Structure 1
Amino acid sequence: MREYRNARQNKRAQQHSVSRFQPAAKVARRPQAVDLKAIARKAMLKYAFEPTFPPAVMAKVNSLDGSLPQRAGSQVRDMRGLLWSSIDNIDTEDLDQIEYCERAHDGEILIRVAIADVDAYVPKGSVLDMHARINTTSVYTGIETFPMLPDRLSKNLSSLPPGKDRLAMVVEFSVLQKGNVHMGKIYPALVRNKAKLVYEPVGAWLEGKGPMPKAIGDTQGLQAQVRLQDEASIRLGKYRAKEGALELETLEARAVIKNDQVLGLYVAEDDRAKRIIENFMIGANGIMSGFLESAGIPTIQRVVRTPKYWREIVEFADARGFRLPAFANAIALSKFLDREKIADPERFPDLSLAIVKLLGPGEYVMYDKRKPLGHFCLAVTSYTHATAPNRRYPDLIIQRLLKAALKRMPSPYGKSELMEASAWCTDRERAAKRVERFMTKAEAAVLLAGKIGQIFDAIITGASEKGVYARLLDPPVEGKIIRQAKRIKIGQKVKVRLANLDPKNGFVDFELAGNRPE
């Protein structure tokens, strides 16, 4: 518990020691060299992250001989013979989970999710653990990734790369034909990833828009395996939607960077491959949360509280001709979102963003059976984060709790420590998102260098007392409208002129180009 307090104190000290970013200033029209890596590290320090690993951490990592940690052999199942695979981004190396499905009786599909056993390398209280609990999350800035754990662990020893034997915690559950889930099993296992697949080509293939990915064609049985995973995912998704899970679609632009140069921005689109992983992870997280809850073990849950701005959501929907009930109701809100997506798919991401802001952020809390909070957006009562222990500290905590519960050993965490950890991890997650958003703006400003004065098509993404924001249609850069018109609304199409850029301070400013919003 002391460590979390020390981390907060260090955070305050660093925030005072690092100068605040200065207000935006007009920059010269001639593009100037910008050191994005230096900007990223400055942003990390501003938000009290440690951007580098101390010598003691690196010494410990370098001392590891690369062999599998010792585990009680009789308890570890050898599941290397199953056709495990991963689906992730093309450049992802910190592979936290792999998946495998098989058909079962009565039309059920048995899903297994193997999660990297990070705790085996990062035991509680070790020098690696003490540092991981400071940042609590990997931070992705585009120009540079600041991992929670050193690369030799997160991208190698505690990752699940193809062709390597690895220890894992397996979560097993069945999906019925209607999409509901039967409580399954959790156990340690020895696994081997047979193929590393990539979202976009797998998604295009499943949707009939592209050829079969080479990795699938080269691996015997993998075509049928991925299609079975897709079938299970569709079942899960339909059931979640029926229960009131919200289908929100926000656009998050990411920089395309090569040799430290910003080449463009892209927005990753949803596809069936991404939904496989999303639905499987939601299922696995729910199983693990329910297991700890039913065992009566103090644990951390991931929650989105019942919206306190529900009245504003009701008014938002009413302005669009849809009546929501006076009290928060996820199923009703889900129906409104479905209608809006069908009616205007182009503007739906910006409508989604407005709803997300009114719903409020997710957070980590210690579970209290007297006051269960649940996850409003997912329409579930028991949920946690436990499928990415290389990248998120709460997931590592849950992994340790599960191990103790399975061995019927005392919990490694007391209630007070879990409360401290929940608050600190929530704080760090929000800070990480601020760093990532800031760097997206900085990288966008670099991309637009030399284009001040040019006119772009845009769409209004935010309108409040804090200001009006717009996103260019191409490239998908978001910025503030510094001289704005009245009666402007989210989703309106406008033409804007690029007015100011300040990469060092993450500012992109527009002004309306003399037109009336559509």
Structure 2
Amino acid sequence: MPKTKTSKNTSGPKRARQLRADELPTREQLLEALATEPDVKGKRDLAKIFGIRGEMRKPFKAMLAELEGEGVITRTRKALRRTAALPAVTVLDIPTDADPDDLHAFPAQWNDEEGERPRVQVLGGRDARVVPAPGDRILARIDAGEDEIPHYTAKAMKILDKPRRAHIGIVRMDEDGARLIPVERKQKEMRIPAGDLGDAKDGDLVEVEVKLSGRLMIPRAKVTNVIGNPMSEGAISLIAIHSYEIPYRFPAAVVREADEAKEAGLKGREDWRDLPLITIDPADAKDHDDAVYAQPDEDENNPGGHIVYVAIADVSAYVQPGSALDREAYLRGNSVYFPDRVVPMLPERISNDLCSLREGEPRAAMAVRMVMGADGRKRSHSFHRVLMRSAAKVSYQQAQAAIDGQPDDKTGPILEPVLKPLWAAYEAMTKAREQRGPLDLDLPERKILLDDKGMVRDIHVPERLDAHRLIEEMMIAANVAAAETLEQKRSPVMYRVHDEPSGEKLSALRDFLGSLDIAMKKSDAVKAKDFNGILAQARRANNIEQVSEMVLRSQAQAEYAPENYGHFGLNLDRYAHFTSPIRRYADLIVHRALVKALDLGTGGLSDQEALKLPGIAQHISATERRAMLAERETSDRLLAQFLSTKIGARFEGRISGVTRSGLFVRLLETGADGFIPASTLGEDYYRYVEEQQAMIGERTGEKFGLGERVTVRLLEAAPVAGAMRFELLSEGTRVNPSSIKRGSRRPSQSRSFKGRRKK
């Protein structure tokens, strides 16, 4: 083979490899050249390296095409390169529509210039410590195999929380054009160049990509998608829905499957249609998934006892494992409740029709019959798959009013035969509850009422009635019964678990309580009753708000798990969610497990589902946390919008959080949260004293502590971010400055010597 001339230019492909005129390079030689020759740009460069000429060009070109078709090499624009290999440990995203029985994933981060993202097979099995599911993001150990073409497999090491979308915001028009108001509090505003606005208009919620421009690399936004206009659509929740990527539109296949569902009949069920079960719900409830009834127990061996019936909509009759409905319900994990809308776990045909226990209409249900002693303790129970018919639909307020002597046309006829026996059973059950001693943190929950435009009309704390507590107590009893039955049948269980507080959190709480002269035992072996004793001391000392806040912070977060470690807050050894399968996937899993364990017909838990319980538990625990954050942020935005017209107004509030950066204050009237930077506190250096959860003046001893009541002025409200900034108007309490322990760090922004605030 004639030698190739060597160019004096240092750029371009290097010398030709020594091949015969009729010889093609091997696949290994080609791949080595692509990996080691940085100047190779395409076929022509490779041909020069190997001296390919004349008749050899055609088979050489075919060889390259074959390698490209197999995915061994990648064409990017006009260049060829060897396909990039995945690192040994990689973050992968499993598509939401992946087959749960044959999972695959793709790299979460991928340079498109490297070609198409490689597909990775996710391995599982009985011995897998982490069991992922469709829609999950995982940290995985990668095996590429030993072939030329990587055949990637992965073993999940950890399920990760997916990050929120990086850049969404609201478009605002001004005299200079358009700007983006980010939904993230920590992100700054960006300008949107005129040519990058697209079809977006003032007030639109948009997705953008960020570009850096100019020598100063100033970030600019380019609109890539117009999501909608929360103001004109009256749905502030749109921001949180898209920020947290909450699925809110049902795919056509899911809607079609729901619409085609046939109403369950009596076949394979017990007939409970004559049992006067009733639903007790909020007055504005659109679906009714639980019904109750109680009667005196006539068994002479149980004097003063009661029989309590709890019937729950039988979602498992309509949502079969592996169906489109099931996959979508799993993906959502739970319903999400916003002040302006509900994002349901299941389509309306299921949640508001077939599985809503409507008054006077036959409905399929899973029911539990519980025998209670006069002391309120459960003596026995049994589960049944039934066809029931609600005798009445009443609100909490109606039921309570009837018991209090003011029945109406609806509750009058059922007062003696239904409501009074229910209350009698409840009164017995409260004895057992008091004996058990669950954590008694009865914190008020505000309800935001909206007007026709989706803006705040009113904020109030609904009265906590015995009717609420009755339903709560009967649902807890049913949930315990479900867990006990599944354990007795040696069935897999999706537990609702709540771990005891960590030693570190208990130590912090103990230090805080010590600063208030409230005693707490030094042992880390605490029970819910111990916290109730602390709360009782706090009520007597008139600082219940401070102590309640810290006790709440000391608690672990409840979650779902196939392993049981009890429910600390309820002081229960075993607990499972059974009573809301319309809105929680965990409850649907428990229903299926009961159907399978008790041989109650079709729709039971499959063996494949049972193997995946660890992954399902991790996923639905994450979707629950996502829902809580999205709901809280939406409330913050609505409240910031509501108060944005009251800049400069004074409010009463309580310090709800203390950090090195400043104070968080929750307004008493509305529950709105805002921030006071440490640099604006007053005429002193303020140190953050963690053990007291307070900021204390270094010189004056002025103290601002958790739970203390303060007066503030609203300085700024940012509705899109749901943030508010306050000015502190009231004086703090005075303590000895020596109470600041050594090592308590000064806030990074607390160096201001501003004068005392004007009242």
TM exceeding 0.5: yes
In the aligned structure 2, how far is the partner of 1:351 from the partner of 1:200? 31
TM-superposed CA distance for 1:288, in Å, is: 0.3
Aligned length: 500
Cα 1:320–1:364 shift into 2, 3 Å = farther
1:256 aligned partner:
449
2:574 aligned partner:
382
1:458 aligned partner:
653
1:266 aligned partner:
460
In the aligned structure 2, how far is the partner of 1:453 from the partner of 1:332? 43
Which residue of 364, 381, 384 corresponds with 1:187? Answer: 384
TM-superposed CA distance for 1:355, in Å, is: 1.4
* 8 A contact 2:165–2:244 mirrored in 1: no
In the aligned structure 2, how far is the partner of 1:466 from the partner of 1:222? 56
Q: Does 1:166 align with 2:383?
A: no
Deviations 1:408-428 (A, max 9, x none): 898414544100010111101
Counterparts of 1:118-517 in structure 2 under 5 Å? 118-206=315-403, 208=404, 211-217=406-412, 220-259=413-452, 260-308=454-502, 309-318=505-514, 319-327=516-524, 328-341=526-539, 344=542, 348=544, 351-367=547-563, 372-407=564-599, 411-414=605-608, 415-465=610-660, 467-482=662-677, 483-484=680-681, 486=695, 487-516=703-732
Cα 1:234–1:338 shift into 2, 3 Å = farther
1:113 aligned partner:
310
* 8 A contact 1:24–1:505 mirrored in 2: no
* 8 A contact 1:110–1:175 mirrored in 2: yes
What residue identity is the alignment partner of 1:281?
Answer: M
In the aligned structure 2, how far is the partner of 1:352 from the partner of 1:235? 28
TM-superposed CA distance for 1:453, in Å, is: 0.6
Q: Does 1:101 align with 2:294?
A: yes
What residue identity is the alignment partner of 1:359?
Answer: Q
1:91 aligned partner:
284
* 8 A contact 1:441–1:508 mirrored in 2: no
Deviations 1:232-289 (A, max 9, x none): 2232223222222111122332210131232011222322011001100110000001
Q: CA RMSD of the aligned region, Å?
A: 2.7
Point out the more displaced range, 480-489 or 354-363.
480-489
* 8 A contact 2:236–2:340 mirrored in 1: no
2:136 aligned partner:
8
TM-superposed CA distance for 1:90, in Å, is: 1.2
Cα 1:341–1:224 shift into 2, 3 Å = farther
* 8 A contact 1:142–1:257 mirrored in 2: yes
* 8 A contact 2:133–2:616 mirrored in 1: no
In the aligned structure 2, how far is the partner of 1:18 from the partner of 1:57? 30
* 8 A contact 1:253–1:440 mirrored in 2: no
TM-superposed CA distance for 1:405, in Å, is: 0.7
Cα 1:88–1:338 shift into 2, 3 Å = farther
Cα 1:223–1:443 shift into 2, 3 Å = farther
2:183 aligned partner:
21
Between Structure 1 and Structure 2, the one with more helix by share is 1
Point out the more displaced range, 154-163 or 465-474.
465-474
2:240 aligned partner:
43
Query: 5+ residue gaps in structure 1?
Result: none
SS in 2 for 1:81: coil
In the aligned structure 2, how far is the partner of 1:467 from the partner of 1:234? 46
In the aligned structure 1, how far is the partner of 2:401 from the partner of 2:635? 27
* 8 A contact 1:80–1:192 mirrored in 2: yes
TM, length-normalised to structure 2: 0.62
TM-superposed CA distance for 1:387, in Å, is: 0.2
Cα 1:171–1:466 shift into 2, 3 Å = farther
In the aligned structure 2, how far is the partner of 1:82 from the partner of 1:143? 36
Point out the more displaced range, 10-19 or 418-427.
10-19
TM-superposed CA distance for 1:87, in Å, is: 1.2
Point out the more displaced range, 77-86 or 475-484.
475-484
Cα 1:312–1:516 shift into 2, 3 Å = closer
Cα 1:419–1:168 shift into 2, 3 Å = same
What residue identity is the alignment partner of 1:99?
Answer: V
Point out the more displaced range, 349-358 or 49-58.
349-358
In the aligned structure 2, how far is the partner of 1:287 from the partner of 1:229? 19
In the aligned structure 1, how far is the partner of 2:582 from the partner of 2:652? 40
In the aligned structure 2, how far is the partner of 1:12 from the partner of 1:325? 36
TM-superposed CA distance for 1:441, in Å, is: 0.6
* 8 A contact 1:109–1:175 mirrored in 2: yes
Point out the more displaced range, 389-398 or 228-237.
228-237
SS in 2 for 1:166: strand
Deviations 1:130-178 (A, max 9, x none): 1011111111110111111112211111111211110101111122111
Cα 1:39–1:24 shift into 2, 3 Å = farther
* 8 A contact 2:236–2:638 mirrored in 1: no
What residue identity is the alignment partner of 2:343?
Answer: F
Cα 1:99–1:304 shift into 2, 3 Å = same
TM-superposed CA distance for 1:57, in Å, is: 1.4
2:67 aligned partner:
none
Point out the more displaced range, 253-262 or 222-231.
222-231
In the aligned structure 1, how far is the partner of 2:398 from the partner of 2:540? 25
In the aligned structure 2, how far is the partner of 1:283 from the partner of 1:515? 48
SS in 1 for 2:433: helix
Deviations 1:438-490 (A, max 9, x none): 01111111221310110011122222446422222223323223344632222
Q: Name the % identity.
A: 28
* 8 A contact 1:249–1:349 mirrored in 2: no
Cα 1:352–1:151 shift into 2, 3 Å = farther
Query: 5+ residue gaps in structure 2?
Result: 1-99, 104-131, 139-159, 169-181, 190-202, 204-229, 683-694, 696-702, 735-759
In the aligned structure 2, how far is the partner of 1:22 from the partner of 1:13? 16
Deviations 1:43-85 (A, max 9, x none): 1222231121112212222233xx52256x3x41111111111
* 8 A contact 2:494–2:561 mirrored in 1: yes
Look at both structures and tell me which one has the larger radius of gyration over its CA atoms. Answer: 2
In the aligned structure 2, how far is the partner of 1:459 from the partner of 1:505? 22
In the aligned structure 1, how far is the partner of 2:414 from the partner of 2:338? 37
Runs of 4+ in 1 over 6 A off after TM superposition: 10-14, 24-27
In the aligned structure 2, how far is the partner of 1:182 from the partner of 1:477? 46
* 8 A contact 1:481–1:511 mirrored in 2: yes
Cα 1:421–1:267 shift into 2, 3 Å = same
Cα 1:12–1:246 shift into 2, 3 Å = closer
TM-superposed CA distance for 1:213, in Å, is: 4.3
